[in-house]
């Protein structure tokens, strides 16, 4: 059986986890205080969140799935969920006690704050569960310190400074997470290089097939899906490894093919544009000139 649980507000989630609502828009939850999970006997449940959540998972009681990927997490793992996301939870049907902590905050909390303006820059809120952040013991101490500062403000009671201080501490916490992810990209360098090699191979296969004529110009999302990664994680991985965006890599690869094709005088510029996936030749002309400095015909004449 499969059940669906919707958490539209922080209070909804507080009730599930046996916590008081100290602030209607934010809370730090200790899952060890929650009632044991049985999900009404369902082995598969879907959880909908109408707010941001950061889970510090410190137990093994169920498998999480987001999209097509499973993630069998280890102790000391941070998982990020943004409003509107649905998380799949699969269990063996046994009752289990969750252990860990959750930072939950509603988008309304950060409206008008610096965090509200920058929240979209934290790409990890768009990662899949199998792209979660594994933290060291030292990093866990920093995480818990950040959460304790937020909890302190909640226990102190709401005043005119609360929103600014809580939002600032959440932003500090997310900035640390940004740093930890950069560290994780580095420590997984060999694994990441394997992803880059597969990326190059898939670009080659794409343009050596009739995919451009059928599907059009390839996108970052297309190659991320081919590699079973989220677009955000894939983009950040490529950027961290190469210093260039995934979109730049795709465009560089396309322009090299376009240059080679312009040497074939038997083909018109329109034919070349179609072979590469451009819907209109004028779009190909503009793209080529922006990248090379000449139109395809000018480049053909120069060479």
pLDDT value for 60: 52
pLDDT band for 3, please (50, 70, 90 cuts).
confident
pLDDT value for 302: 83
Domain boundaries, the chain: 2-187, 191-302
pLDDT value for 293: 93
DSSP state of 61: S
Averaged pLDDT, 247-256? 94
Would you state the structure tokens that stand for residue 270, as one six-digit string?
């329109």
Would you state the structure tokens that stand for residue 79, as one six-digit string?
């998982």
C-alpha of 298 from chain center: 42
Q: Evaluate whether 2-187 and 191-302 have a shared fold.
A: no
pLDDT value for 65: 45
Residue 222 has pLDDT above 60, yes or no: yes
Residue 261 has pLDDT above 50, yes or no: yes
Residue 1 has pLDDT above 60, yes or no: no
Strands 69-71 and 63-66: what pairing? antiparallel
What 3-state class would DSSP assign to 12? helix
Q: Are 135 and 143 in contact (CB under 8 A)?
A: yes
pLDDT value for 59: 57
Of 9 and 94, which is predicted with more confidence? Answer: 9
Global pTM value: 0.76
Averaged pLDDT, 31-44? 85
DSSP letters for 254-265: HHHHHHHHHT-T
Residue 277 has pLDDT above 70, yes or no: yes
Question: CA neighbours within 13 Å on the CB side: how many for 99?
Answer: 10
Q: What is the mean pLDDT of the chain?
A: 88
pLDDT value for 105: 98
Strands 2-7 and 44-49: what pairing? parallel
pLDDT value for 69: 45
pLDDT value for 68: 41
What lies within 8 Å, CB to CB, of 82 at 6+ separation is 49, 52, 125, 126
Q: How far is CA 139 from each of CA 93, 109, 159, 179, 260, rounded to the nearest angstrom? A: 33, 26, 31, 10, 49
Distance CA 87, CA 222 (A): 22
Q: Are 38 and 72 in contact (CB under 8 A)?
A: no
pLDDT in tens, 185-205: 888 777 778 889 999 999 999
Per DSSP, helices labelled H in the chain are 10-16, 114-118, 137-156, 162-187, 189-207, 211-215, 220-226, 231-242, 246-262, 269-276, 281-292, 296-302
Residue 67 has pLDDT above 60, yes or no: no
Per CATH, domain 2-187 is 2.60.120: yes
Distance CA 13, CA 52 (A): 12
Q: Are 172 and 193 in contact (CB under 8 A)?
A: no
What lies within 8 Å, CB to CB, of 93 at 6+ separation is 41, 43
Percent of the chain with pLDDT over 70: 94
Q: 111-120, 155-164, 207-216, 277-286 — which is least confidently predicted?
A: 155-164
pLDDT in tens, 120-160: 999 999 888 778 898 988 999 999 999 999 999 999 888 88
pLDDT band for 217, please (50, 70, 90 cuts).
very high
Q: 5-9, 12-16, 57-61 — which is least confidently predicted?
A: 57-61
CATH topology of domain 191-302: Arc Repressor Mutant, subunit A (1.10.10)
What lies within 8 Å, CB to CB, of 65 at 6+ separation is 71, 87, 88, 89, 90, 129
Of 151 and 40, which is predicted with more confidence? Answer: 151
Residue 64 has pLDDT above 80, yes or no: no
């Amino acid at each position: 059986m499969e059940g669906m649980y919707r958490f539209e507000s922080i209070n909804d989630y507080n009730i599930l986890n046996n916590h008081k609502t100290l602030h209607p828009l934010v809370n730090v939850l200790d899952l060890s205080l929650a009632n044991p999970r049985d999900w009404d006997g369902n082995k598969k449940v879907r959880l909908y969140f109408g707010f941001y959540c950061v889970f510090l998972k410190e137990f093994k009681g169920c498998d999480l799935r987001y999209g097509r990927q499973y993630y069998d997490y280890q102790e000391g793992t941070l998982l990020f969920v943004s409003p509107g996301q649905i998380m799949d939870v699969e269990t063996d049907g046994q009752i289990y006690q969750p252990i860990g902590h959750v930072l939950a905050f509603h988008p309304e909390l950060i409206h008008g704050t610096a965090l509200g303006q920058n929240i979209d820059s934290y790409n990890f809120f768009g990662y899949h569960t199998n792209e979660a952040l594994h933290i060291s013991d030292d990093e866990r101490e920093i995480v818990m310190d950040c959460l304790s500062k937020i909890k302190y403000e909640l226990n102190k009671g709401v005043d005119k400074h609360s929103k600014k201080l809580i939002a600032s501490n959440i932003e500090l916490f997310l900035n640390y997470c940004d740093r930890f992810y950069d560290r994780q990209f580095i420590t997984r360098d060999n694994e990441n290089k394997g992803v880059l090699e597969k990326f190059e191979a898939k670009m080659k296969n794409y343009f050596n097939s009739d995919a451009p004529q059928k599907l059009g110009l390839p996108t970052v999302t297309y190659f991320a899906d081919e590699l079973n990664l989220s677009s955000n994680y894939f983009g950040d991985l490529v950027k961290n490894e190469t210093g260039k965006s995934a979109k730049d890599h795709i465009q560089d690869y396309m322009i090299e093919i376009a240059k080679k094709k312009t040497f074939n005088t038997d083909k018109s510029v329109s034919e070349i544009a179609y072979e590469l996936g451009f819907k209109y030749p004028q779009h190909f002309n503009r793209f080529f000139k922006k990248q090379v400095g000449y139109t395809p015909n000018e480049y053909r004449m120069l060479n």
